[in-house]
Amino acid sequence: QVQLVQSGAEVKKPGASVKVSCKASGNTFTNSYLHWVRQTPGQGLEWMGIINPSAGSTSHAQKFQGRVTMTRDTSTSTVYMELSSLRSEDTAVYYCATEGSSSWFGNWGQGTLVTVSS
C-alpha cells in the first residue's frame, strides 16, 4: 500500500502562490493516478485535479482553470500542486490521494493546511 506524505502548513498573503508537495513511498509511484482534493469549512470536499505520474499529463476542475498547476518529479516520487492568485476562500486543507481501479480514493496524504490571510 502506497503511503503519501505531504509538505507542512503554509501561510500566504492574498495574491501569492503556494506549492504543496506529496511524496509517495514504495515503487508504485508511476502505477497510480494521483488526485488533489481540498477541504474548506464552507465548500466541504472539493476535487481539484488529477495527474498521471508516469506521463505527467494532467486534468483539472474548470473552477481552477488558469490557477492550478500539477507537476511531478519521478526521481523523488513526488507530485506537486501549485495554486496561484490566492484569495481568502482558498484557505483549506489540501490533500493528495491515489485512485484505485477507478477514481475513488484509497490512499490519502495527511493533508496540508494552507491559510491565506493579509
Partner 1 sequence: EIGLTQSPGTLSLSPGERATLSCRASQSVSSSYLAWYQQKPGQAPRLLIYGASSRATGIPDRFSGSGSGTDFTLTISRLEPEDFAVYYCQQYGSSPLTFGQGTKVEIK
Block residue for cell numbers 495527511: 110
Q: Does 31 bind partner 1 (CB under 8 A)?
A: no
Contact by Cβ (8 Å): 112, 8: yes
- For residues 85, 86, 87, 89, the Cα torsion angle rounded to the nearest 10 degrees is 130
- Of the pair 69, 113, the CB lying nearest partner 1 is at 113
Please choose, out of 15-23, 56-64, 68-76, 81-89, the segment that lies near partner 1 by the rule CB under 8 A.
56-64
Q: Does 110 bind partner 1 (CB under 8 A)?
A: yes
- Of the pair 80, 105, the CB lying nearest partner 1 is at 105
Alpha-carbon gap, residue 118 to 16, rounded angstroms = 10
CB atoms near residue 18 (< 10 Å) = 19
- Of the pair 13, 44, the CB lying nearest partner 1 is at 44
Range 10-29, binding partner 1 (CB under 8 A):
none
Please choose, out of 12-20, 66-74, 79-87, 102-110, the segment that lies near partner 1 by the rule CB under 8 A.
102-110
E strand or H helix at 114: strand 112-116
Alpha helix (H) residue ranges in the chain: none
Q: Which residues bind partner 1 (CB under 8 A)?
A: 35, 44-47, 59, 61-63, 95, 97, 100, 102-106, 108-111
